Amino acid sequence: MARSTPHPLRGSPYRPVLAHPVLRRLLPGYAISSIGDGMAVVAVGWLAVELAPADARGVWVALAAAAYTLPGALGAVVLNRLLRGRNPARLATWDALLRATALGAIPVAHVAGALSIGLCVALLAMSSVLHSWGQAGTYTLLARQLRERDHLAGNALFSTIGSVSSVAGPLLSAAMVVWTGAIGVIAVDAASFAILAGTLLVAAPGADSGVGAAEATGTDGAGAAETAGTGGAGVAETAGTGEAGPAETAGTAGAGVAETAGTAGAGPAETAGTAGAGPAETAGTAGAADAEDPERMPVEGASRAGGVAVIRADPTMRNLVLLTIGFFFLFGPVYVALPLHVTQDLHASAGTLAGFYSLFGAGAVLGSLLAGYLRRLPLARAAAGIVTLSGLTLLPVGLGAPTWAAMAGFALLGFLWPPFSTMSTTLFQHSSTPAQLPQVLAVVSAIRILAVPLGTALGGPSVATLGPEPTLLISASGILTLGLITVTALPRHLNNHPSQPGPSGA
């Protein structure tokens, strides 16, 4: 018997995600690890300050911050041959285990009296090596468990968890540092990833093989229906539809499980499908290979290419990557210019700077929740439109508007940020085959990791040469121009609703 859903959720796009038998067991683990990661934002820099020599603190703080994120981008490229095609649940689990082990070694070394700033940075770097693959595994697993039309809501829910954690985590960390020091916060962060790893091992050990089995047998008719019912997608697209990218592509393959469990309710009409993909095709892809080797997803044809090659060959993904790189890169200088704008141009206190970021975070929470309701929008145009609006929201601070107007713009920017990330992830999912899914998402994660720091690195010379306010104006104008160019360049006939096949599925 299907579990009853509370009345307020019956009309919510988040209902299939929250009611899903696998995902509802995974969500608490992801929420806990996300809070731990949010706490680490404060703790990593603070611990570096405590450990570094006084005359080199700035350098070591920068190295520590970079070590906690940037090696993930390197891992996405260097480990592609080793990790592509791996079971997505395993990728997420290995990332969580490595994070827990490497971060946990920091407080252990501290207790043993062996912790130095160099060892700390090395362990932070080690902890993040698999993070791009872990993110890819997470969104692939998410997509495998949900029907295609629920991918946007699933992505948005995970984005909401991250947004809430980005607000709550630093506050909890600041309070905890007073009692335990930064080392205690790092220990909590390590424990949170251990909890996530345990949750994945318990709740999703056979998630992929279960999906394959459901599809292979056509349980409740969901497998064949979801496979065949998306505009003639062939074997390569069994688990996803034309536009589905890494995360969402795999998610459609999981529709069998979701529907069998009573959360989707696919009927006989869906079972019949429309494009002629039969149970034989279904069994031949997402399920059969996993049954033979649970550590690997099916890898055939194009999936043997690296994620970069796959993206380069697909116009939709290639253009979306360029938009993402441009948006994040142009936003990077804001991290340098805004603090200096507050102190030099406004002659204000740290409280004003905190106000900017707090309003951004509050807007991000609301934007994350809203994103799940936007699945009827044409996602490519909506994503480009969000970039355009983001440039507009930054203009007040770049033009020297009153502080209240600049803060209001920053809050709106926070509101727009999660829907862009959610929609772009959904578009990548709709543009990839299931076999390509993890390596494409790993590359996308690496791009997102690298683009902002590269822009931030250029922000320093720009502020030194032009000043904070002109730098902010250049960022705002650049983002606005990028969005307008993208909107006008999109073909008018482009159709990329998440419930419909895209170009690669035609």
Q: Residue 330's CB: how many other CB atoms inside 10 A?
A: 26
At a CB cut-off of 8 Å and minimum separation 6, what does 74 contact? 129, 446
pLDDT digits (tens, 9 = 90+) for 418-460: 899 888 888 888 777 777 777 888 888 888 888 888 888 788 8
Q: How confident is the model at residue 156 (pLDDT cuts 50, 70, 90)?
A: confident
Q: How many C-beta atoms surround the C-beta of residue 11 within 10 A?
A: 7
Mean pLDDT confidence for 288-309: 48
Is 282 a residue whose pLDDT tops 80? Answer: no
Give the separation between CA 374 and CA 382, rounded to whole angstroms: 9
Q: What is the pTM of this model?
A: 0.63
pLDDT, residue 129, reads 94
Q: How does 278-317 read in b/e, with b if 16+ C-beta sit within 10 Å?
A: ebebbbbbbbbbbeeeeeebbbeeebebbbbbbbeebebb
Query: What is the Cα–Cα distance from 272 to 246, expressed in whole angstroms?
Result: 26
Q: Which residues are CB-contacts of 123 (< 8 A; sequence separation ≥ 6)?
A: 102, 103, 105, 106, 109
**What are the tokens at 113?**
């009296």
Q: Is the pLDDT of residue 268 over 80?
A: no
> What is the domain partition of the chain in residue ranges?
11-205, 209-298, 308-505
Q: What is the largest CA-CA distance in the chain?
A: 71
CA–CA dist 204, 353 (Å, integer): 42
Residue 100's pLDDT band, with cuts at 50, 70 and 90, is very high
Query: What DSSP string describes 121-184?
Result: HHHHHHHTTTHHHHHHHHHHHHHHHS-GGGHHHHHHHHHHHHHHHHHHHHHHHHHHHHHH-HHH
Contacts with 116 (C-beta within 8 Å, 6 or more apart), sequence order: 51
- The secondary structure of residue 491, as a DSSP letter, is -
Our CA angle for 485, 486, 489, nearest 5°, is 85
| C-alpha span between 196 and 100 (Å, rounded) | 9
The amino acid occupying position 27 is: L
Residues 6+ apart with CB under 8 A from 61: 45, 48, 49, 52
Q: Would you say 106 and 186 are in contact if contact means Cβ atoms under 8 Å apart?
A: yes
H-only helix segments in 273-378: 279-282, 288-292, 307-313, 315-331, 334-340, 350-371
Task: Output the CATH code of domain 308-505.
Answer: 1.20.1250.20
Separation of alpha carbons 12 and 480, rounded Å: 33
pLDDT greater than 80 at residue 283: no
Q: How many residues does the chain have?
A: 506
pLDDT (average), residues 285-300 = 41
> Rounded mean pLDDT of 158-180?
84
Task: Look at residue 8 in the predicted model and tell me its pLDDT.
Answer: 52
**Eight-state DSSP code of residue 237:** G
Superfamily of domain 11-205: MFS general substrate transporter like domains (1.20.1250.20)
Poorest-confidence range of 90-94, 124-128, 253-257, 410-414?
253-257
Per-residue pLDDT tens digits for 331-352? 988 888 888 888 888 888 767 8
| Rounded distance between C-alpha atoms, residue 435 and residue 504, angstroms | 14
Residue 380 and residue 330 in contact, taking contact as beta carbons nearer than 8 Å: no
Residue 52's SS3 state is coil
Beta bridge partners of 86: 296
d(CA 66, CA 124): 9
The per-residue DSSP string of 343-372 comes to IIIS---HHHHHHHHHHHHHHHHHHHHHHT
Q: Do domains 11-205 and 308-505 have the same CATH topology?
A: yes
Contact 462, 112 (CB under 8 A): no
Quote the CA–CA distance of 383 and 22 in Å, as a whole number: 30
Could you tell me which residue, 61 or 214, shows the higher pLDDT? 61
Greater confidence, 227 or 471? 471
Q: What is the pLDDT of residues 473-500, one digit of tens each?
A: 999 999 999 999 998 887 765 545 444 4
Phi, psi of 281 (to 5 degrees): -65, -40
> Could you report the per-residue pLDDT of 52-77, keeping only the tens digit for each?
898 887 778 778 878 888 888 888 88
Position 129: which residue type? V
Mean pLDDT of 82-102: 91
Q: Which residues pair with 431 in a beta bridge?
A: 244
